[in-house]
Amino acid sequence: MSNPMLDLLKDMQLFNMLNNFIRRNAPNAIKSIPNQQPVNSSSSRPFSEIIQEASRKYGVDEGIITAVIKHESSFNPRAQSPCGAQGLMQLMPATARSLGVTNAFDPEQNIMAGTKYLRQQLDTFNGDLRLALAAYNAGGGAVKKYGGIPPYAETQNYVKNVMHSINTLA
């Protein structure tokens, strides 16, 4: 017997997985979809109050946090990647736990922890935003191993796209 709610949840989960895949691997394919959220002022951005709080607490610019959220989850607090990353800033479960997160889908916990993790990467890589973003995406070990942005297409595109968004949102 089919459960309509369970079927709907499965469809939504599949949609989110496909949406995340398309946004990461074929960003030009969705350019025709209008942005539902104006980004011309920080108060009109989704989750702006939490982003402002995280920015103040961890000393990371609001535009950087916003750009990471945009590219990680498209502002979807229920986003979950095929590899298990969760929430707005796509925290891996082990990373989330290490940062004290009890519910990675809670926007406040996710943004605060994701920003703290980004701050750690900035500190590790002496304030170099490009390296910190690469570490956020591929892990600090990969950045150290290659002595810079790893030669992974996904990570190189991620850094380029987030940096572009930071400049656009500024």
Q: Can you list the alpha helix ranges (DSSP code H) found in the chain?
A: 4-25, 48-58, 62-73, 93-98, 107-124, 129-138, 140-146, 153-169
Phi, psi dihedral angles at 123 (to 5 degrees): -65, -45
Predicted TM-score (pTM) of the model is: 0.75
Q: How far apart are CA 116 and CA 96, in angstroms?
A: 11
**Per-residue pLDDT tens digits for 76-110:** 999 999 999 999 999 999 999 999 999 999 999 99
Q: Considering 49, 53, 62, 72, which one is annotated as catalytic?
A: 72
Question: Domain ranges in the chain?
Answer: 47-169
**Per-residue pLDDT tens digits for 118-149:** 999 999 999 999 999 999 999 999 999 999 99
Q: What is the pLDDT of residue 46?
A: 85
Q: What is the pLDDT of residue 45?
A: 74
49 is catalytic: no
Burial label, 41 (beta-carbon count in 10 A; 0-12, 13-18, 19+)? exposed
Evaluate if residue 37 carries a pLDDT over 90: no
- 47-169: CATH topology is Lysozyme (1.10.530)
Mean pLDDT within 7-26? 52
Q: Find the largest Cα–Cα distance for the chain.
A: 57
